[in-house]
Structure 1
């Protein structure tokens, strides 16, 4: 059995070729990234309006901390649903094709997002309101569980070897662009409408528009082509007849552990630094909502740029060097940001943007994760390990940090910095990892 060096792209992630990116590659990247942007926007916009949603979908006489905890619980439900949706979608992605499941996942995201924007509140229908909201978040979670691993596999299997990291980094930047889109929408709403108008009706706009644009993206994905690697598997009838998940659990456990640990780093960076922090700035440091969201939007831009940069750097210097520099930098800049709060408007934006750039090292997870599994079970392997880890760490992190910050206001900084140290340590995983498949 062959082995894989974590630090170098020994696995050929696509058809063996040193050709440059061509027009067809750019079309694949563009349409995949656009769909990912819209789908991830649909998933994360919930957290930008968590305070308003909590006040509308739960009893008014609940203590504020209890309402916030319940709202974050519904947010977490989306993460807990990811493994089931991801495993099912990935199973059929390995059996009948990447493209079909790639289109299905965005459809399953768009419809619940549209429904959330139309849901009646607790005042109108009582306990049914949070229950329906919970159901929609579960459907969204199932969809996103298949989307991100599917997008990474789809693009990696289309990309030439020499631009493997750049292609995955660019795709990941498109997915994080969905966070930027949600943040920009939040800034716009808070600038144009009063808090009373947002509470009464304007909060619905980002969900309704997200649902509509998501359905448009479903149509656009019909112009994509199946990956060359899956076409080759079908041609030589090498699609695994066994349940892919059985193969993964029997033969690729160590690869699953590596992806799960890197997912812990990724989920913490995204959930705490990007999704959790705007509300944290408002509640703990009393920073105006518009200012908090403005700084978050700038940080999300640098995150998006960072995803491309760290993917490109992995092509040039190797994955280990990129992991050490990227996640080591995240640890340092995390403390720089949180320890200088509230600061001035300029310092808030500058330090938030800096840590955002280093959070872009999250694109190194798919760089390692896609090549960790052979093509026959690649979608399932990446989806299973990524989504199981994200369900635990992504779902519990907001509640953990919320409770922790009651006794230590620097709790977000400590947690993110610890994950940066873990990311650096992962860069020194043994060069030959027993059980990792090197073939495509």
Structure 2
């Protein structure tokens, strides 16, 4: 393999990404997250009808369990999807793989609306439903990680926190739209028609959304960071080397980033599922509120989160990502019990206030997570490593609702979910301590990205200052090592 001497970086080497192009990237990438959570919402709200439609031979109490179990199956296939699409995304580009995953995801969701009922085709109905959910799991395994990588590699260094925060904004928006669509259709056609055929309509909506996302993604260029790597012949050779490197070597070289990302994702998604999935059931089963009442409160809180989350991303570009991780983890550690104390009062304002506290703390996490994770890994293995870590951690976090319910039932304490949140808050705190500050810095082993020529000059100078600091730090370490060496040599008669 030929060796080349790296040339000094100049302003011409800094990619310029304008606001118009950035908005297009955010829309294209965020739409995939919105479709994922749209399906999450629709399936959850229609779980009873889906259970009756596809598991009609089972007792009514078992139908809902079977429906929810089918919903959970895709989580098992997400790590496999992350590994497959992550590898392909590192080899063939982020844009191409994201174009494939969004159409695969929307098509599998659309297919659920086409599957005949158990009364029509018997056991093939639940089998086809399971197949559609497995395909969803594989595609989602590459979708979120790919979108996070794509947006982060496209975003200027000074705006990455704000830009990446819109991805999870899309997730929450997709959930809310799903709830609104189901409620509107049910109100318009009535419960009987909804159970007969109306439930299929929300699933059909996913296909046109996917086609819009496909069009937007196809119209974009590849991310500047990925293109810069492939355009450099020396780095291209290094890419070939990495592709033949064992999984063990990749893990060893990126172990710190892997540990941080897994800790962070478990902390964030455990809190996410506790608040948005478990809480409505907690309010209805354990506190006696109607399920619809609990869901309405959650929807209001999620709408509030839509306002807070981008603000956290914006501020993280000004003061850093780590302060928000510390605020979210420490706040959750000390406020989880007071928040649940408020939730358990029979006053709607107290309930909303307690949930709002947890929601603000969650926003501290999800407002910065999408900008932190890609910065932990180098470009050549960023997609695959992040996708596998993220989906394994999500699989673990997905156990949060049943574990919380089991703890409450077994230990007969309504505060067990709060204690659970306190434990995962420690994970978030450890991640905050271990991670390097990534705000206003280029991605790992990547060229800086700017939003204008003027900013490019400033970013380049900041990059040079950072390199000088790193060189000085290395020289100080070398000096200390030389001093230690000399001390040892002085103690040995034959080495003097």
TM over 0.5: yes
- 2: distance between equivalents of 1:143 and 1:307? 26
1:154-233 equivalence runs, <5 A: 154-189=150-185, 191-192=187-188, 194-233=190-229
**Structure 1 unaligned runs (5+)?**
1-14
1:400 matched to 2:403? The reply is: yes
Residues 279-298 of structure 1: CA deviation (Å, up to 9, x unaligned): 44344444334433322222
- 2: distance between equivalents of 1:410 and 1:23? 48
Residues 132, 330 of structure 1: alpha-carbon distance in 2 compared, 3 angstrom cutoff? farther
Offset at residue 97 of structure 1 (A): 0.8
| SS of equivalent to 1:201 | helix
| SS of equivalent to 2:308 | helix
- 1: distance between equivalents of 2:246 and 2:135? 22
- 2: distance between equivalents of 1:253 and 1:364? 21
Residues 412, 72 of structure 1: alpha-carbon distance in 2 compared, 3 angstrom cutoff? farther
Residues 59, 308 of structure 1: alpha-carbon distance in 2 compared, 3 angstrom cutoff? same
Q: Equivalent residue for 1:277?
A: 279
Q: CA RMSD in A?
A: 2.9
The answer to whether the 8 Å contact 1:155/1:168 transfers is: yes
Offset at residue 257 of structure 1 (A): 1.6
Larger RCO, structure (CA 8 Å, separation 6 or more) = 1
Residues 334, 95 of structure 1: alpha-carbon distance in 2 compared, 3 angstrom cutoff? same
| SS of equivalent to 1:427 | helix
Offset at residue 50 of structure 1 (A): 2.4
1:407-422 equivalence runs, <5 A: 407=410, 408=412, 409-422=414-427
| SS of equivalent to 1:428 | helix
Residues 122-177 of structure 1: CA deviation (Å, up to 9, x unaligned): 33333322222211111111111111111111111111111121111122212332
Equivalent residue in structure 1 for 2:265, among 257, 263, 268: 263
1:12-411 equivalence runs, <5 A: 22-59=19-56, 61-62=58-59, 64=61, 66-189=62-185, 191-192=187-188, 194-237=190-233, 238-239=235-236, 240-241=239-240, 242-243=243-244, 246=247, 247-331=249-333, 334-339=336-341, 340-341=343-344, 343-360=346-363, 361-394=365-398, 396-407=399-410, 408=412, 409-411=414-416
Offset at residue 428 of structure 1 (A): 1.7
The answer to whether the 8 Å contact 2:273/2:397 transfers is: no
Offset at residue 81 of structure 1 (A): 0.9
Residues 232-261 of structure 1: CA deviation (Å, up to 9, x unaligned): 111114242224772522421221121111
Residues 101, 61 of structure 1: alpha-carbon distance in 2 compared, 3 angstrom cutoff? closer
Q: Aligned residues, how many?
A: 421
Equivalent residue in structure 2 for 1:439, among 441, 445, 448: 445
The answer to whether the 8 Å contact 1:36/1:147 transfers is: yes
Residues 377, 116 of structure 1: alpha-carbon distance in 2 compared, 3 angstrom cutoff? same
- Specify the structure having the higher radius of gyration (Cα): 2
| SS of equivalent to 2:346 | coil
Residues 341, 52 of structure 1: alpha-carbon distance in 2 compared, 3 angstrom cutoff? farther
Residues 62, 412 of structure 1: alpha-carbon distance in 2 compared, 3 angstrom cutoff? farther
Instruction: Please report the TM-score for the alignment, with normalisation by the length of structure 1.
Output: 0.85
Residues 51, 330 of structure 1: alpha-carbon distance in 2 compared, 3 angstrom cutoff? farther
Residues 138, 206 of structure 1: alpha-carbon distance in 2 compared, 3 angstrom cutoff? same
- 1: distance between equivalents of 2:435 and 2:150? 28
- 2: distance between equivalents of 1:63 and 1:129? 17
- 2: distance between equivalents of 1:331 and 1:51? 35
The answer to whether the 8 Å contact 1:157/1:229 transfers is: yes
